[in-house]
Structure 1
Amino acid sequence: MNILEEIQNCPVEWKELGEVCEFKRGQSLTSKNAVFGDIPVISGGKKPAFMHNESNRDGETIVVAGSGAYAGFVSYWKQPIFVSDAFSVDIKNSDEVNSRYVFHFLLNNQSKIYATKTGAGIPHVYGKNLSKFKIPIPPKKIQEKIVQILDKFTDYVTELTSELTSRKKQYSYYRDKLLSFEDEVYQVEWKTLGELCDVRDGTHDSPVKQSFGKYLITSKNVKNGSITFEDAYYISYEDFEQINKRSKVDVDDLLFTMIGTVGEIAHITDEPNFAIKNVSLIKPADRTLARYLFHYLQSTEAKKYIAENKSKGSQVFLALGKIRNFPIPYVSKTIQSRIVQVLDNFDKVCNDLNIGLPKEIELRQKQYEYFREKLLTFVAEGEYTESRVE
């Protein structure tokens, strides 16, 4: 008998999440008051906010982020943690309900959890909003079998992600090695970025948001080597044209963040259709130099320069003058091309969503989400029209 047949023949009881779980708020803790240790502090983001030397949750714990942009984000921890600006979802009776079953149920309802956000300024998600969610509870044995199937997918995604992280570290190592020129094999001439390229910045004004028009890109839209239009907003065609008189973005330009998270970089490879605000615009003479600078400006040496020269106030920024004075090890076009070829291959393997590990991770994640939805829907409704699941 396969899992679907077992589910079909078993009783399912519907309960409110608040009947089977307790929502326990975290404790306030700032990085300033923390004592550095090996305990992750879980707050309002997708990753630990910082580390601390003591925990307030041990064992396996479901956590929901309490506030901020990722309020409602669900995570599962198999180690001691400190829950801060978040709340844990604790199983009241572990003899009847499997915590991983509840975790997969919450992930299947992640969008609904996000939809419970309240607050005009900083959004919040509260346990009381989740307590009314209805969860189908089959017998514990069936819960465990469902968890076993779904955990195979999540474990595989975790393994692939770990492998990808290792490859990115390898890429960083070879990038730093190639761009350090320690062996003195090549003739290196140190120049400033301003000597090699036209360096300017985007508008400092705040154009009025529009319901349609052209995108305005800011520092938050430059991530992981590319542009994301998530949370970008439209401006009028008139404002777009006005900004472009000062800082028009072209193919093979580089965007370099100078406010907030300083040092994120993107290489523009497609015809741009946006304007920029508070972002440095670097205009190399050709694609080879663009790719060479793209890699160098992410190197450990470049990050040292950024750390030493960025402002130390509440609003972190790297002044345009400092960016223009960025020291660059300049080598011949032939050597640039060789370095770019090696590093581009590494970069492609690590980040191209169409090949290798990134593609495999994406496919396995979609596969997990597909079977999660199908299995949990089957538990709830007793219907499943797709192929056999063992």
Structure 2
Amino acid sequence: MHDERYADLGLLERYCERIGVRTEDYKTLFVSSPNDELLKTDLFKEYLDKFSNDTRAKKIKTKRITAKYTEDMRSLELQNYIINCIKECEKDKLYFFLLALSNPQPVVIVKSPSKTTDIKKFLGYEWSSSKGNEGIKYIGANEVDEDNELERNKGISQIKTPLFDPSDLHNEEKINMLIRHNFLGEELCIAKNYEEYVSVNNLVDLMDFSRIEFDKVIKTSISKKIEIQSKYELLKLKDVASIRKGQSITASECKEGNVKVVAGGVNYACLHNQANRDANVITISASGANAGFVNFWKEPIFASDCTTIVGKNDIATLFIYNYLKGIQNQIYYLQKGSAQPHVYPKDIEQIPIPNVPDNIKKQIVEECNKIDEEYNNAINQINILKQKIDDIILPSFNKYEHKKLELLCSSFEYGTSSKSSSIGKVAVLRMCNIQDGKIVWDDVVYSNDKNDIEQYMLHKNDVLFNRTNSPVHVGKSAMYLGDRPAIFAGYLIRVNYKKDLLNPKYLTYILNSKPIREHGFSVMSKSINQANISAGLLKQYEIPLPSMELQKEIVAQIEIYETEIDKAQKIINSYSEKKNVILDKYLK
């Protein structure tokens, strides 16, 4: 084929760029004579492997040689069969690439969040299986002081969701209007707060042309390419390591033992009585929300829903592990599928990795091991310190008289039910802002409502109780330190303690203690993935009540340990950054 006769050469070049081959090499396939350079590419090596070993190829290979059917004739038949199969596959892929590329209409993709609580907010409803109250429960705009908000919020007219506004279907702030504008061919402008849900893509970018199996599936996310910068030559991971798929096993099939079964999570799933991988092995979770998570196991394991990676020796394996952890976020790019994301071994094989000399690998591993040691020591220290805090708090339950909170507090206040915004005058603390007994200022929303600011303004040493959340989070409490002006949302309760009877820090420690959290779990009302402890239930809590002087002593002892916990936590928080500094120093 001559270039001057090929008016669409530019389109062919774009396709070749997409599948990672040179255009001149690809054109040799058109005349059924693919050159060596083309056949050496990863894609075409996969083609050769597939079609030279399928049923038809095996039949050709076993044909009997006769005077009329020579060895050369058999080789030529096999070669022609393989090339024709490749041409048919590529013909189909190229055709659909050109169709998709010529489509001028953008594709709007709307994706829901992955966390259950976020999904409910996104959809505006949840499913209740409470006896006598089954079915869809719309989550309305307003919360009320009564215990069961969902019962009050029936009717789609009250639904609150970013998807649409039931009272104004032409509300430009809702996602349905983006879909409408796209359908009408109008210009799209995605608000910043919807960027995590909505994306606009070209159809051609939503189809995978890089594989030998072309399923014509339109994906809901664009595959991002792992980009690596290094002064060393880049190889593929499969060139420097053994990569193997795990072996399927269910919990019911596991036999009693102490071998960890590594599946799709960030930790092991269960125990078994035998291993299928030796010690010092890397795993990459294969499916689920954590698909792509990189881990390292010093002991033998049973590899299940994961892919395992082992280098040529232990130093090489540890180098690969530290390198992969350094690009962990990019490895998540390999996820395919929306309902159940997967990361496949074939994609892992293609991860680029610098070809580092052995002596440099050793240096990297030695320096990273020191960071690992610091990290592990910090975790162990935190566990020890938390146990020491328990050793201070728990005896209080047997030492001192118990009193109901309603006798020790003047009132229990629900927070504001008004809608918050991404900007405003005063921060609004929500249930997500209570973590590990402290107020955190991540993911803060704001209020401009003058009345709310006046009524719900927090004061230094106010104690907040998380009344509604998933069961594991309901009951978590924190003391507001007055860091910055803030009010509190309706899913929190302000516990207005009597200052002559309760020290606010002591109250916070007690509310977060194991006995009180366990009691809360036993009395909370539950629906699917949602639980509630009302103010009525909270005021019935019985807590140990030492004198104010003893409360201050208990708090002072705990604060010493908390200071040490904060120091250890800083080491943990800097773990990834320190390792990346080491990798950058040697690899870039």
Aligned to 2:522: 308
Report if aligned partners of 1:20, 1:97 keep a CA contact under 8 Å in 2: no
The letter for the 2-side match of 1:372 is L
> Structure 1 residues 236 and 200 mapped into 2: Cα distance closer, same or farther (>3 Å)?
closer
> Structure 1 residues 274 and 128 mapped into 2: Cα distance closer, same or farther (>3 Å)?
farther
Distance 2:277 2:466 in 1: 37
> Any residues of structure 2 matched to 1:214-229 within 5 Å, and which?
217-229=429-441
Distance 1:294 1:365 in 2: 32
Aligned to 1:347: 562
Per-residue deviation, 1:291:
0.5
Aligned to 2:586: 375
Q: TM-score scaled by structure 2?
A: 0.51
> Structure 1 residues 169 and 283 mapped into 2: Cα distance closer, same or farther (>3 Å)?
same
1:180 is aligned to 2:387:
no
Aligned to 1:333: 548
- Which piece of structure 1 moves more, 159-168 or 59-68? 59-68
Distance 2:339 2:488 in 1: 26
Aligned to 1:113: 331
> Any residues of structure 2 matched to 1:1-390 within 5 Å, and which?
13-21=233-241, 22=243, 24=245, 27=248, 29=250, 38-40=258-260, 42=262, 46-48=266-268, 50-54=269-273, 57-66=277-286, 70-81=290-301, 87-91=306-310, 94=312, 98-116=316-334, 125-177=343-395, 179-182=396-399, 188-197=400-409, 198-202=411-415, 207=419, 210-213=421-424, 217-230=429-442, 232=443, 234=445, 237-238=448-449, 247-258=456-467, 259-260=469-470, 261=472, 262-269=474-481, 270-273=483-486, 275-286=488-499, 289-311=503-525, 314-320=528-534, 321-350=536-565, 352-353=566-567, 357-360=568-571, 366-377=577-588
The letter for the 2-side match of 1:252 is N
Distance 1:292 1:334 in 2: 11
Aligned to 1:380: none
**Structure index of larger Rg:** 2
Report if aligned partners of 1:252, 1:286 keep a CA contact under 8 Å in 2: no
Task: Output one character per residue of 1:197-225: Cα deviation in whole Å (capped at 9) or x when no partner.
Answer: 332334568x47x5534655443432212
> Structure 1 residues 366 and 202 mapped into 2: Cα distance closer, same or farther (>3 Å)?
same
Q: State the structure with bigger RCO (CA 8 A, min sep 6), 1 or 2.
A: 1
Distance 1:275 1:119 in 2: 38
Report if aligned partners of 1:310, 1:316 keep a CA contact under 8 Å in 2: no
Per-residue deviation, 1:108:
1.6
- Which piece of structure 1 moves more, 18-27 or 338-347? 18-27
The letter for the 1-side match of 2:397 is S
SS in 2 for 1:250: coil
In structure 2, the gaps of 5 or more residues are 1-230
Q: TM-score scaled by structure 1?
A: 0.73
Distance 1:291 1:87 in 2: 45
Per-residue deviation, 1:88:
2.8
- Which piece of structure 1 moves more, 53-62 or 331-340? 53-62
Per-residue deviation, 1:372:
2.9
Report if aligned partners of 1:67, 1:123 keep a CA contact under 8 Å in 2: yes
> Structure 1 residues 125 and 29 mapped into 2: Cα distance closer, same or farther (>3 Å)?
same
Distance 1:108 1:145 in 2: 16
Per-residue deviation, 1:114:
3.9
The letter for the 2-side match of 1:339 is I
Distance 1:293 1:123 in 2: 43
> Structure 1 residues 38 and 157 mapped into 2: Cα distance closer, same or farther (>3 Å)?
same
SS in 2 for 1:98: helix
> Structure 1 residues 74 and 218 mapped into 2: Cα distance closer, same or farther (>3 Å)?
farther
Per-residue deviation, 1:347:
2.1
Per-residue deviation, 1:95:
5.2
Distance 2:541 2:435 in 1: 21
**Sequence identity percentage:** 24
Report if aligned partners of 1:250, 1:271 keep a CA contact under 8 Å in 2: no
Report if aligned partners of 2:258, 2:271 keep a CA contact under 8 Å in 1: yes
The letter for the 2-side match of 1:331 is P
SS in 1 for 2:384: helix
SS in 2 for 1:317: strand
In structure 1, the gaps of 5 or more residues are 1-10, 183-187, 378-390
Report if aligned partners of 1:26, 1:88 keep a CA contact under 8 Å in 2: no
Per-residue deviation, 1:103:
0.6
The letter for the 2-side match of 1:222 is I
Task: Calculate the aligned-residue CA RMSD, in Å.
Answer: 3.8
Count of residue pairs the alignment pairs up: 348
Per-residue deviation, 1:15:
0.8
> Structure 1 residues 253 and 56 mapped into 2: Cα distance closer, same or farther (>3 Å)?
farther
The letter for the 2-side match of 1:371 is I
Aligned to 1:386: none
Distance 2:429 2:346 in 1: 37
The letter for the 1-side match of 2:491 is N
Distance 2:428 2:466 in 1: 14
Per-residue deviation, 1:105:
0.6
Distance 1:202 1:47 in 2: 37
- Which piece of structure 1 moves more, 18-27 or 154-163? 18-27
SS in 2 for 1:76: strand
> Structure 1 residues 35 and 267 mapped into 2: Cα distance closer, same or farther (>3 Å)?
farther
SS in 2 for 1:282: strand
